[in-house]
Amino acid sequence: MTLPDYPREYGREEHRLSEPALLLVAKKPDAWEYKLFSQVLTDEIAACAAATHTIHCLAPELVVRLADVSEVLDWVQRQLRDIQSCFDTQKRLIDVDVPKAFREPGQPADPNEIIDAAIQFAQVYRHLIDRTAEVRHVQARDEFANILRLVSEASHHMMRNVEIFCTTLQQQIADASKTYDECKQLQTRRVTLVLGFPDGWDSAFSAECDAIDARRNSLAPVSTPQFTVVELEQGTSEWLEWRQNGIGASDAPTIMGENPWKSAAQLLREKRGPARPHSKNAAMARGVMLEPEARKRYIARTGTEVKPACLQSSLHAWLRASVDGISASAGSVVEIKCGESVYWETSACGRPPDYYYGQLQHILAVTGFASIDFWCYLPGNPELLVPVRRNDNYIERLIATEMIFWDSVRTPPSV
């Protein structure tokens, strides 16, 4: 007997049937449809055995590193949506695609449809292997270990249920065939695929999420006697209006005559006009795009959780700062730069460029902190962390000069 040349005749080209499956296609014994589905599924699951090795030896470059609370929670939610999608796909296969491939009693089944249904079923299993491997190779702080373990348990539990289903299906078909051969009576067997999470998993996961949410809320910057945290999102029209009605940190070098690209007179004209978004060149746009990643790298490097915030001085309402990152304990603040020129200048000199000094001292004037971290991030290069100390003599001159400038803004120009 000549066996069918699969996959040229049967199935998709990226899969090749085993000899037992080919014999079932060729000979079509009693209940061949169920036997073929079970055989192809068993073969495909067995082929995944090599893939399970990646769970323990995933390539280092594929390791996922999660820095802050929000990033961990977002990643966890994506994983759970992916697992739920696997649930939905397998339910559709069992309820719709597989019965359709078997056809109604008395109607001839198509081997291709049965093979495809089994391969699709196994592909979900293969996908779960990838998810489990990724979960087990996440790098995050110890405080996130429990929730990562729960996600791994969910994925592994579903993998195990598929393996049990596959083994049980094969055994039930074999038992039914044997009984039929002995007594020539039709056999009805039920094989159940369990879809869901382990017992007690839901409550444990909810409790862990609540604990992490509470921690995330505790990490939000809070007001101090020195400054008020203004609930604004940087970049919005409301933020632009708030920024226009005061002096921000980026205005300080201009007011102090330290900005080589803009004069105090030009800034004065801008402040007297309506709030407008600043035009961005390509380098500035790239810096804005890289800032979230730079902040994650800073958190990973220092172990200090920081978030962007809008701060307003309690002493002078016009004294304001939109900081790139400040800790909830109000003890650490960071200014992030992602441009090439500032990176190389800082790298060469070991300190921030002079035209950023006023910006940094302005932030220290608003916060009252003793120092600020100057963090330079340029992909492909070592990050630069330069602490800058508070300079009270400079801040005294800065506040005096900014106060005169703000009085000028509030004074209508003479005609």
Give pLDDT, residue 5. 41
One-character DSSP codes across 200-240: THHHHHHHHHHHHHHHHHHTS----SSEEEE---TTSHHHH
Ramachandran area for residue 257 (φ above 0: left; ψ -120 to 50: alpha; else beta): left
Give pLDDT, residue 128. 84
CA distances, 340 to each of 225, 245, 335, 380, 385 (Å): 37, 31, 16, 11, 15
Give pLDDT, residue 83. 85
Is it true that the peptide bond before 7 is cis, omega within 30 degrees of 0? Answer: yes
Q: Does domain 227-410 have CATH number 3.40.640.10?
A: no
First to last CA, the chain: 105
Give pLDDT, residue 389. 96
| E strands in 301-368 | 306-313, 320-327, 333-337
- Residue 376: in which H helix or E strand, if any? strand 371-376
Give pLDDT, residue 4. 39
Neighbours of 370 (CB within 10 A): 10
One-character DSSP codes across 258-289: --TT--HHHHHHHHHS---PPP--HHHHHHHH
Mean pLDDT by 10 residues, the chain (415 residues): 40 67 88 89 82 51 62 82 87 87 82 90 86 75 82 86 87 80 67 80 86 69 88 92 96 96 94 79 82 91 90 96 88 93 96 97 96 96 96 97 96 71
With vertex at residue 204, the alpha carbon angle to CA 91 and CA 160, rounded to the nearest 5 degrees, is 40
Are β-strands 138-139 and 64-65 bridged in parallel, bridged antiparallel, or unpaired? parallel
Q: What is the pTM of this model?
A: 0.57
- Residue 61: in which H helix or E strand, if any? none
Give pLDDT, residue 152. 85
CA distances, 373 to each of 34, 188, 310, 332, 404 (Å): 66, 72, 17, 8, 28
Give pLDDT, residue 251. 97
Tokens 């049990």 sit on residue: 164
Helix (H/G/I), strand (E/B), else coil: 148: helix
Which residue spans of the chain are classified as CATH 3.90.320.10?
227-410
Which residue spans of the chain are classified as CATH 1.20.1420?
19-218
- Residue 305: in which H helix or E strand, if any? none
- State the Rg of the chain over Cα: 32
Cβ–Cβ < 8 Å for 21, 36: yes
For 344, the token pair is 């190389």
* CA separation for the pair 344, 380 (Å, rounded): 13
Q: Does domain 19-218 have CATH number 1.20.1420?
A: yes
Give pLDDT, residue 187. 58
Is it true that the peptide bond before 221 is cis, omega within 30 degrees of 0? Answer: no
Give pLDDT, residue 51. 58
Give pLDDT, residue 324. 96
